């Protein structure tokens, strides 16, 4: 596993797309900060650090898209086949699991990078933070952001290995991590229920707060919101993330290692 | 020791039977030429040997060990494969491709391994161009280098001469022979470039419609494709029976036009046998058999010849 992780880290770090992504993220975070500084526009101060200009709300979309790039090297024609042909049967199962683990580590690196550049942007903008949270809250917030990205990353890897299709995987990554797939599914169920004589949107009202996209949105709003139980289900989004995200991610990793690795790879 | 043994190997893709009950053996040290038409099951067989595709029935025994399937205790395969496409990361350099694979196989000094392999296949280790700008031949050579990462004991090469210019073809051929002679690597090659295959292979297997139709050594091939005598008789059936009696060491094959091709007997011997037996001869000529023609026949390319019968 470690050898495969090193290999993937090498090939990603020697690819142009990773540096292009880092450049775009840095630009999107630093450019508004510079504009704020030069024009003296923007807020007078931020209430806290995690609710400031550190945008973690959409980070899971980028993490899933990066996973789709990492795992769309097709096993049937690409470099992956060359590696897989040099691995024994058991090591091949590890190879599939490693792709999930690597993508999750990449998501963690992305979140850490976004946080650091976001902090830099905060400094550049010159907007003060009134009452920064304690370090443990910031760490928990970062961890929770990663937890919210994990199901989307793992599911994207699973879709990549099952479909072996870059377009399908990328579309799935963006739609699922954007919450459109799960939202659409719920609305569909609600619509069917309404057709059968039930009340419209009852399923969405009951299940909605437990959807990963809904939890990710609440976590993205900042550490205070993440830890607050003042919401529809009276349970902090951090706890809901712990209940929902790890099982989904683990199930996707297990399905990938057990199902995808049993298929012909070429 | 047999490096590859297949027993009743079968692969079915939905309704298509790609490989049908294939029994094949490749001995240690062989350069095994695997010949067949497009779609005859060559690549599928190689994929099953490499473990990239699962057999529908039958088994592949590698290195005489059915259990571990040829894997090292560290879980790495003893097989290097270049099947169908070179399998490269087009956005990286050739060296980066090799380093990435060497790292995946847990090798230390991955950079040195990459440099050595690039030199072996005739690519420049200092070339900073990305692989997407490479010619097909250069990609093929990189594919071979990738297959050689980890020092495999068995090399599976599917159409390795594709896209290579004459000089590169020669270099590839010499590299394969050197790997076989100096490093003891057993090599299985499928190729349509029969003259190149003929120059390197020590054994041949011919596959047609998923079946192995023939297996023979290099010597046997040249024996079969050596000179023969073409004779056309007034009464072919009676004449064949009499010639079989007169020339028991010879082999006879009927041509679609009714002529007999006699191998294992000289022109004089056939002529004398016909004269002694009182057989009326309408045509008698010495002929050389083309290797390509022989393979085409074995592959089922000339149905008339195949069905014409041979003793």
Which DSSP string corresponds to B207-223? EETTEEEEEEEHHHHHH
Residues in chain A with CB shorter than 8 Å from the CB of B101 are 7, 79, 82-83, 86
Q: Do B101 and A6 touch (CB under 8 A)?
A: no
* pLDDT at residue B292 tops 80: no
Q: Residue B73 pLDDT more than 70?
A: no
CA atoms within 13 A on the CB side of B296: 12
Q: Which pLDDT score, from 0 to 100, does residue B71 have?
A: 66
Contact by Cβ (8 Å): A211, A183: yes
Task: Between A28 and A208, name the one with better pLDDT.
Answer: A28
Q: Among B204, B163, B188, B144, which residue's Cα sits nearest to residue B28?
A: B188
Contact at CB, B106 and A3, closer than 8 angstroms = yes
Cα–Cα distance for residue pair B284/B255, rounded to 1 Å:
14
pLDDT band at B69 (very low <50, low <70, confident <90, very high): low
pLDDT of amino acid B310: 36
Measured between beta carbons, which residues in chain A are less than 8 angstroms from residue B88? 78-79, 82
pLDDT at A56: 67
Of residues A47 and A251, the one with the higher pLDDT is: A251
Q: Are strands B281-288 and B227-233 parallel, antiparallel or unpaired?
A: antiparallel
pTM: 0.76
* pLDDT value at residue B188: 93
Smallest CA-to-CA distance from B99 within B134, B156, B149, B153 is with B149
For the cut 80, the answer to whether the pLDDT of residue A144 exceeds it is: yes
φ, ψ of residue A11 in degrees (nearest 5) = -70, -35
Q: Which two tokens stand for residue B222?
A: 């040249």
Alpha-carbon span A132 to A138, nearest angstrom: 9
Taken in order A207, A213, A217, A219, the sign of the CA dihedral is positive
Q: Using one digit for the tens of pLDDT, what is the confidence trace for B244-268?
A: 888 888 888 888 888 888 887 888 8
Residue pointed to by tokens 């043994």: B5
Q: Which residue of B has its CA nearest to A83?
A: B101
CB contact under 8 A, A82 and B75: no
- pLDDT tens digit string along A12-39? 898 888 899 889 888 988 888 888 888 8
Among A residues 134-163, those touching chain B with beta carbons less than 8 Å apart? none
Q: Nearest CA to B62 among A186, A88, A253? A: A88
Tokens of B289: 């058999």
Mutate to test the interface with B, among A19, A76, A79, A166 (most CBs of B within 10 A): A79
**Beta carbons within 8 Å of B141's beta carbon, 6+ residues apart:** B121, B122, B123, B164, B168, B172
Residue A51 pLDDT > 80, yes or no? no
Q: To the nearest whole percent, how much of chain A has pLDDT over 70?
A: 95
Asked if residue B200 lies in contact with residue B31, where contact means CB atoms within 8 angstroms, the answer is yes
What pLDDT was estimated at residue A133?
84
Q: Is A89 on the interface with B (CB under 8 A)?
A: yes
Alpha carbon distance B77, B94 (integer Å): 22
**Residues forming a β-bridge with B284:** B231
Q: Do B77 and A86 touch (CB under 8 A)?
A: yes
Mean pLDDT score of chain B: 83
Question: How many Cβ atoms are within 10 Å of B103's Cβ, its own excluded?
Answer: 25
User: What tokens appear for B295 in the block?
Assistant: 């393979």
How far is it, in rounded angstroms, from Cα A212 to Cα A218? 10
pLDDT at A261 over 50: yes
pLDDT at B303 over 70: no
Which one of A6, A84, A86, A259 would you mutate to disrupt binding with B, by most B Cβ within 10 Å of its Cβ? A86
ipTM score for this prediction: 0.79
Task: Name the residue of chain A whose CA is nearest to B62's CA.
Answer: A88
Beta bridge partners of B16: B13
The Cα of B252 is separated from the nearest Cα of chain A by a number of Å equal to: 43
SS3 B78: coil
Q: Are strands B260-263 and B227-233 parallel, antiparallel or unpaired?
A: antiparallel
Q: Strand runs (DSSP E) across B52-153, as ranges?
A: 57-62, 79-82
Question: How far is Cα B132 from Cα A162, in angstroms, rounded to an integer?
Answer: 26
Kindly tell me if the per-residue pLDDT of A217 is higher than 90. Answer: no
What are φ and ψ of residue B12, in 5° steps?
A: -120, 130
In contact, A245 and A148? CB cutoff 8 Å: yes
Q: d(Cα A102, Cα A97) in Å, to the nearest integer?
A: 9
Would you say residue A75 has pLDDT above 60?
A: no
Euclidean distance between the first and final Cα of chain A, in Å? 22
Q: What is the pLDDT of residue B301?
A: 59
Q: CA Rg, chain B, in Å? A: 23
Question: Which of A137, A169, A165 lies closest to A65 in space, CA to CA?
Answer: A169
Percent of chain A whose predicted confidence (pLDDT) is above 90:
6
Among A101-105, A122-126, B16-20, B22-26, the minimum mean pLDDT is found in: A122-126
Angle between helices A212-220 and A180-195 (to 10 degrees): 130
Among the listed ranges A142-156, B88-102, B156-170, which one has the minimum average pLDDT value? B156-170
Q: Mark out chain B residues that contact chain A at CB-CB < 8 A.
A: 47, 50-54, 68-72, 75-77, 79-89, 91-93, 96-97, 99-101, 103-106, 143, 146-147, 149-150, 152, 156
**The token pair that represents A89 in the structure block:** 């049967």
All residues of chain B having their beta carbon less than 8 Å from the beta carbon of residue A93 are none
- Helix, coil or strand: residue B118: helix
């Amino acid at each position: 596993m470690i050898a495969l992780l090193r290999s993937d880290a090498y090939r990603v770090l020697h690819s142009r797309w990773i540096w292009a992504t880092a450049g775009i993220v840095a630009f999107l975070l630093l450019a508004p900060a510079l504009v704020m500084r030069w024009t003296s526009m923007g807020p007078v101060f931020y209430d806290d650090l995690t609710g400031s200009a550190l945008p973690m709300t959409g980070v899971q979309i980028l993490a899933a898209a990066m996973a789709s790039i990492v795992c769309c090297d097709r096993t049937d024609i690409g470099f992956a086949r060359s590696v897989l042909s040099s691995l024994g049967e058991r090591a091949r199962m590890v190879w599939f699991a490693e792709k999930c683990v690597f993508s999750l580590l990449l998501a963690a690196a992305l979140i850490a990078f976004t946080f650091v550049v976001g902090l830099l942007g905060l400094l550049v903008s010159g907007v003060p933070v009134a009452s920064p949270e304690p370090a443990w809250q910031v760490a928990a917030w970062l961890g929770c952001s990663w937890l919210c990205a994990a199901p989307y990353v793992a599911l994207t890897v699973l879709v990549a290995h099952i479909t072996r299709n870059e377009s399908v995987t990328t579309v799935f990554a963006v739609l699922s991590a954007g919450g459109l797939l799960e939202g659409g599914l719920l609305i569909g169920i609600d619509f069917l229920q309404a057709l059968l004589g039930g009340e419209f949107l009852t399923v969405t009202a009951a299940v909605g707060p437990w959807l990963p996209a809904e939890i990710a949105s609440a976590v993205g709003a900042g550490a205070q919101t993440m830890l607050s139980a003042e919401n529809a289900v009276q349970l902090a989004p951090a706890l809901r993330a712990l209940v929902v995200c790890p099982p989904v991610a683990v199930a996707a990793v297990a399905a990938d290692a057990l199902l995808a690795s049993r298929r012909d790879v070429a | 020791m047999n490096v590859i043994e297949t027993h009743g190997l079968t692969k079915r893709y939905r309704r298509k039977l790609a490989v049908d009950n294939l029994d094949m053996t490749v001995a240690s040290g062989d350069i095994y030429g695997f010949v067949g038409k497009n779609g005859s099951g060559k690549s599928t067989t190689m994929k099953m040997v490499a473990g990239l595709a699962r057999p529908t029935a039958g088994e592949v025994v590698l290195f005489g060990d059915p259990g571990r399937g040829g894997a090292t205790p560290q879980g790495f395969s003893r097989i290097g494969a270049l099947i169908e496409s070179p399998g490269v990361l087009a956005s990286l350099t050739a060296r980066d491709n090799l380093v990435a694979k060497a790292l995946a196989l847990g090798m230390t000094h991955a950079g040195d391994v990459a440099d050595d392999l690039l030199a072996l296949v005739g690519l420049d280790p200092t070339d900073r161009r990305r692989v997407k700008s490479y010619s097909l031949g250069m990609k093929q050579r990189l594919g071979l280098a990738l297959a050689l990462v980890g020092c495999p004991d068995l090399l599976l090469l599917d159409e390795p001469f594709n896209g290579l210019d004459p000089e590169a073809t020669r270099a590839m051929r010499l590299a394969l022979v050197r790997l076989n002679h100096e490093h003891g690597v057993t090599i299985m090659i499928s190729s349509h470039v029969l003259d190149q295959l003929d120059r390197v292979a020590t054994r041949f297997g011919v596959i047609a419609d998923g079946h192995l139709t023939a297996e023979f050594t290099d010597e046997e091939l040249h024996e079969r494709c050596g000179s023969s005598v073409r004779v056309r008789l007034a009464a072919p059936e009676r004449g064949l029976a009499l010639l079989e009696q007169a020339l028991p060491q010879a082999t006879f094959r009927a041509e679609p036009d009714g002529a007999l091709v006699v191998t294992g007997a000289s022109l004089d011997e056939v002529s004398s046998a016909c004269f002694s037996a009182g057989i009326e001869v309408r045509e008698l000529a010495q002929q050389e058999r083309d290797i390509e023609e022989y393979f085409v026949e074995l592959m089922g390319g000339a149905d008339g010849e195949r069905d014409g019968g041979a003793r």
